[in-house]
Structure 1
Amino acid sequence: MRNSGLAKLDGLVGQWSTTMSDAWFLEPPGVRVPGETTVELLGESLLFVRTRFADGTHHSEMSLVIGRSDPNDNYVALYQDDRGVCRQYDMTFGGGHWTLTREDPDMHQRFLADVEQDRILARWEASDDQGKTWRKDFDLTFERA
């Protein structure tokens, strides 16, 4: 039987054309890296999100597994990427907004997104001082393929 809390995320399921832009760590400034994102059900209670970027120069792959703790009425996401990084994020989703946040000893990080039917405008931010100040890492644009 399908998890009713996860059903709220059904609008994310599908194929997305994805663009990374305004990334402080990419040269030259202003470079836009095309990619694709696939969001699919994993069983009845999880979502699997895989994003791949490649433009001949830049290449990256990252994945999320999103689930929901029914007793606590909250979402959680496990993240991994091709650098061997693995992180846990608290997640919110509703009212046209999607957030992922973590407050770990090495850094605080957040993903902030405005969700429309066929487009998601998002950015990743990081803080090295426990959330007192934030810097943008990069922007993401998802458009339904």
Structure 2
Amino acid sequence: MRNTELEKLAGLVGEWTTTLSDAWFLEPAGTERSGTATIEWLGESLLVVRTVLHDGAARSETGLVIGRSDPNDAYAVLYQDDRGVCRQFAMTFGGGRWTMTRADPDFHQRFVADVEENRILGRWEASDDEGATWRKDFDLTFERA
């Protein structure tokens, strides 16, 4: 039986094309990276998100596992990438808005996205002053394939 709260994320399931844009760390300005994302169920109570971005012959991969703590009434996200980075995020989802946030000793980070039926318009932001001010790292757009 599928977890009722995780079922609310069913609209995310599928194949997506992705575009990373407006990134402060990409030169020259206006550079974009394209890729793909697959979002699928793992059992009845987890979602797995796999994203691959292309940079010419090079590629970068990230993964998320989205789950839930029913007793805490909260979503939880585990993140990993091909650099060996592992992070944990709190997550909210509803009213057309998807957020993931973390407040860790290295820096604070958040993903904020507007979710439509066939498009997700998101951005990643970071804060080096414990969330007092935020800078955009990059935009990340998902289009249903």
TM category, shorter: over 0.9
Structure 2 CA distance for aligned equivalents of residues 10 and 60 of structure 1? 26
Identity of aligned residues (%): 72
Shift of 1:60: 1.4
- Helix, strand or coil for the counterpart of 1:139? strand
Q: In structure 1, the residue corresponding to 2:9 is in which secondary structure?
A: helix
> Does residue 65 of structure 2 align to residue 65 of structure 1?
yes
Structure 2 unaligned residues grouped into runs of 5+: none
Counterpart residue number, 2:28 = 28
Residue 39 of structure 1 aligns with which residue? Answer: 39
Runs of 4+ in 1 over 6 A off after TM superposition: none
Alpha-carbon shift at residue 57 of structure 1 (Å): 5.8
1:17 aligned partner = 17
Output the CA distance in 2 between the equivalents of 1:69 and 1:133: 29
Alpha-carbon shift at residue 55 of structure 1 (Å): 3.3
Q: In angstroms, what is the RMSD of aligned CA positions?
A: 0.9
Equivalent residue number for residue 4 of structure 1:
4
1:88-126 per-position Cα deviation (integer Å, ceiling 9, x unaligned): 000000000000000001100000000000000000000
TM-score by length of structure 2 reads 0.98
List per-residue Cα deviations over 1:26-51 (Å, max 9, x = no partner).
11110111100000000110000000
How far, CA to CA, are the matches of 1:82 and 1:135 in structure 2?
24
Which residue of structure 2 lines up, in the alignment, with residue 122 of structure 1? Answer: 122
* Structure 1 residue runs without a partner (length 5+): none
The corresponding residue for 1:98 is 98
